[in-house]
Every structure is written in C-alpha cells, then in structure tokens.
Structure 1
C-alpha cells in the first residue's frame, strides 16, 4: 500500500544514539548523535552520511524553519538553538520566566516562525550540577518575538509534529502511552487536546494524506482517524524518530539506536 517491495536499508551504524531527523529544502536529512554531541546529514544524491557540526549543545530533536535554518533542542544547558547552513549558532531560548528549562526534547516550527516544543526531563550524565528549576514537564510555544508561553503539562511530553495543511499539532505523552492531537486555531493558539491513539512515541512525522508515523518498536502508522494501519519493523533495540526526505520527500528516513535507515515509499511527507 505505502511502500515499494523493499526492506528498510541501513545507511550507517557508526553512531552512539541517533535522533532528531529533519529534512532541508533540498531533501537532505539532518540528524543528531547526542552522546557524541554531533549533527550529521544524509546526502540523498550520494546516499552518504556527512558530518555537519560538532559541539551542538547536545542537540536532540530538530526542525528546519522556512529560511532553512536548523532549529535544535540543545539540552546541555536547556536551550533551543538556531543553526544556519554556514554553521552560525544563535541561542533562541534558555529560560522561561527566569528559570532554566528542564531539557527541550523535540519541536515543530509553524508558518509564523513560532516554535512548539516539548520540555520533559531526562537527566543526562553530562549535566553538571543540574538542579530542576521547573517542577512540571510541559508543552510550550515560543513566538517569533521570543516570548515563551506554557500550553499544557504532561507526564513526559516527547515527540511532536504539526501540519499547516491539516491545521493539526500532535504531541506524544510517552510515559502515559498516549498521543494527543490539537487543532491549530491561530498563531500559538490551540484547541483543547483530544486523545489520538493509545500509544506514546519518541518521535513522529506526517505524510500528505494525514497519516501519523510513531516510533519506539519500529515505526507504527496510524491514519487520520487514529486507526493503526501499518507496522514497519526495524532491527534495532529502539527506533527514536522518523521523517520524510529525498528529492521529492518520498523516502522515509529512520533514526534507530546506533543506526540510520531509509525506506522509499509511495507517499510523500506533508509540507
């Protein structure tokens, strides 16, 4: 239905833990190796992996803005960064009401330049003298002026993806084993959340038909009504995240444990 008669192809397994895949305007997919504090990208024309940046603030989840800057959840100091293609770094957010964020995990950038991001708490062994300053784990919105607003608190918010086409925002509460959906009403304004499915997720993406791809034990696909329609097995302990890349955004790019995989599909990612 969705896929050519192929198995996911392992492109490389030289990493410690891969995360945060995001496709740029050319279809190259950038992703993180957080334990090694590096960002790489997959060059789809050559099917090769290229190192982009080291010292990334321990980048985790990422997303490209409309100007092709890579926005990263860099949790070493609880920050959100903007990284240009020529590797200039700007710290966009580090505090909410004067308090350090727990550790931004994943994000999605809307058409206004605003950023929805999740801020769970996974204490890292590389954090020095960390003290939790925000007692809750929440979903936030940072508008283009830099003002940050808390939207909602979860047990452990993690994966997030949105769509301007469908006017939807999906957020996983991974410890609760649930994924929720909001209607996007206007800039930074959401409806009340609704339960989408009884599955949590580390990362997620959408195709142009509104199907949602969740991760953990491989990749699980749900249709727009929240019905499970497919399961893509990945031979790794943990599948962390997924996005669409390639020339016409019809290749599923999957980060899983020490590896990254590609799977050509019959569908395209949503714009």
Structure 2
C-alpha cells in the first residue's frame, strides 16, 4: 500500500473519513490521553499548558504552569500522570489541579527528562527517560550515563530500571491485560516488544518493527500506531497496514478519544487533528 494513500484506504479507518484539523494555535503538541468520558487531554510543552478536547468538540485550557508536562496518562481515579520535565519529575495532577510529585530522581541522580508513560492494570508506571536538552534547564549535560526505561510500582517512591540497553527510548504503550509492552527506541529507529512479569520486570525483548516512534497507541484489534511522519499502523504480527498522512512536519503522538473511543486524536506539532476510525482504542 503506498504511503500517500488516502486515510480511508486503511481498513482501520472509517470508510469515507478524512482528517479534520481542530486547531493550529500551538507550538508543539504532545502526550494525548483520554478520560472515562472520552475527553482528550494533551500538552503544548513549549507554552507549558495542558489542554482538553471534550466529546462536544470544545477545546479549552485545562491547566497553565504544568511543570513543562510532556507525556500524559490518566489513572483509574482520574488523575493526570505527567512527565514533568522542567525538573525531570513524574507528577500526579488531580482533577482539581492539585500537584503531587511522584518521583524526582533515580538513586539520587536527576532523570534525563521523563518523556512518555503507560500505566499497567495494577497502577504501576512505565516511563521512558531520553535526553533532549531543554532551553529552560540550567544544566547542559545529563546526570545519568544512559537513557532508560523505568518502572514505578504503585505506592512506591523508588523507580526500578526496566531496560538500560537502549539508545533513546521515547514512545511507550502496553496491552490492556498487562502482559506485554512496546517501547520505541527513536534514535535506533526500532520498536521493541517485551513480556511483562508479575512484578513488572520486562523480559523476552524482541524487535517488533524497524521503525522508531515519538508516541504510540494500540487499538482493540491489537494494531500498533507509530508516529513521526504521519501515523503508521502495524498489525499484531508487525505487518505494515499503511500510513495516515498528516499535513504537519511531525506527528508527536496519538490516542483514541470520543464517547465510543473511535476517534483517533493526533498531536502534530502546531496542530491537532481527528480522524474517525473503524476500530476503537483500549485506553
């Protein structure tokens, strides 16, 4: 299937559906996640804001001064778990915007910059920690020698190293039953699949596809959506189903939103888009 195909030529896209631009008022959008109602929350990190896009199509600022939040994920209680890389921390932001710092360092060392995250069914947090120098940091080099994936078990205050053998991990997502995890090593241009053990440890790392990704999501059929130049969709075996072209220079991330979870929400640099799908999300 050619990459320039219309979006609805992919079997996962609703027949006749076209990409709809919601807004282009941002600087760099990231971290979309969805709540129980289907409202999507996302970040505009350079402007230090979290926005909300509800099921009626209303777009509004949810929070200002967000610790430079990047990746987001909503827990079962409705808190936004945020990769707040102004001070290289993990935050929990309550519905009334109260901030709790969940994690501030690894064995006394400052994180590189928590970037993307996924919560397992137990409430544990997997997150990627690549190093991207930020203009708002005082430091000019990382404290840690490697760029890793970590796991924070629910209720704990210390992270566990989940994989320390990656070049620059970025996008991350897991299966809804908590049995496997995908991690994109964006610098190596690879996406890996892991088995998740009962205590959160990762094993059996296998190359899933030779493509990296900034963000990612899964649908109810087990298809994996990778981002960068448009949105590229792979079936559960790693076969490429096709690419959804997006008229922005870079697609940072994706998630499924809406009341029925059948709207693909795409954060693409200065813009956000939606696309009606023939499949549903799992978040």
Q: If the length of structure 2 is used for normalisation, what is the TM-score?
A: 0.93
In the alignment, which of 228, 242, 255 is matched to residue 216 of structure 1? 228
Corresponding residue for 1:185? 197
Mapped partners of 1:42, 1:57: distance in 2:
20
Partner of 2:147: 137
Equivalenced residue count is 270
1:159 to 139, 153, 171: 171
Q: C-alpha distance in 2, partners of 1:235/1:136?
A: 34
* Gap runs ≥5 in structure 1: none
Matched-pair contact (CA < 8 Å) for 2:148–2:162: yes
Runs ≥4 residues deviating over 3 A: none
Task: Output the CA distance in 1 between the equivalents of 2:98 and 2:223.
Answer: 35
Counterpart of 1:83 in structure 2 is 93
TM-superposed deviation, 1:231: 0.9
> 1:131 offset after TM fit, Å?
4.3
Of 184-193 and 31-40, the range deviating more from structure 2 = 184-193
Residue 54 (1) aligns with residue 64 (2) = yes
- Higher strand fraction: Structure 1 or Structure 2? 1
1:23-63, CA deviations, whole angstroms, 9 ceiling, x for partnerless residues?
A: 01111000000000000011122x12110001111000111
My pick for the range that moved more, 160-169 or 118-127, is: 160-169
Partners of 2:163 and 2:202 within 8 A in 1: no
TM-align CA RMSD: 1.1
Matches for 1:188-267 after TM superposition, within 5 Å:
188-267=200-279
Segments of structure 2 that go 5 or more residues without pairing to the other structure are 1-10
Separation of aligned partners in 1, 2:208 and 2:202? 15
Q: Give the superposition deviation at 1:249.
A: 0.7
Contact 1:11 1:48 in 2 (8 A): no
The normalised TM-score by structure 1 is: 0.97
Task: Give the secondary structure class of the aligned counterpart of 1:186.
Answer: coil
Other structure's SS at 2:275 match: strand
The answer as to whether partners of 1:112 and 1:187 remain within 8 angstroms in 2 is no
